[in-house]
Chain A
Amino acid sequence: EVQLVQSGAEVKKPGESLRISCKVSGYSFTSHWISWVRQVPGKGPEWLGRIDPIDSYINYSPSFQGHVTFSVDKSVSTAYLHLSSLQASDTAVYYCARHRPTAQTGPYYDYWGRGTLVTVSS
Chain B
Amino acid sequence: QMTQSPPSLSASEGDRVTITCRTSQSIGTKLNWYQQKAGEAPKALIFGASSLHSGVPSRFSGSGSGTDFTLTISSLQPEDFATYYCQQTYFDISFGPGTRVDV
Residues of chain A contacted by B97 (CB below 8 angstroms): 43-44
Number of interface residues of A (CB under 8 A): 26
Nearest CB of chain B from residue A57's CB, rounded to whole Å? 14
> For the complex, what is the distance from the CA of A62 to the CA of B94, rounded to whole Å?
11
Q: Let me know if A46 and B41 touch, CB within 8 A.
A: no
Q: Let me know if A112 and B41 touch, CB within 8 A.
A: yes
Size band of the interface chain B makes with A: 20 to 34
Nearest CB of chain B from residue A97's CB, rounded to whole Å? 8
> For the complex, what is the distance from the CA of A110 to the CA of B52, rounded to whole Å?
11
Stretch at the interface among B9-17, B25-33, B74-82: B25-33
| Residue in A105, A107, A115 whose beta carbon sits within 8 Å of that of B28 in the complex | A105
Residues of chain B contacted by A100 (CB below 8 angstroms): 44, 47
Nearest CB of chain B from residue A14's CB, rounded to whole Å? 26
> Chain A interface (Cβ within 8 Å of chain B)?
35, 37, 43-47, 50, 59, 61-62, 95, 97, 100, 102, 104-110, 112-115
21 intermolecular pairs with C-beta atoms under 8 Å apart = A37-B95, A43-B97, A44-B98, A45-B42, A45-B85, A47-B92, A47-B94, A61-B92, A61-B93, A95-B42, A100-B47, A102-B48, A104-B29, A104-B48, A105-B28, A105-B30, A106-B32, A107-B89, A108-B48, A114-B41, A115-B41
* Interface pairs A-B: 7 shortest CB-CB: A105-B48, A106-B89, A106-B30, A112-B41, A108-B47, A108-B32, A47-B93
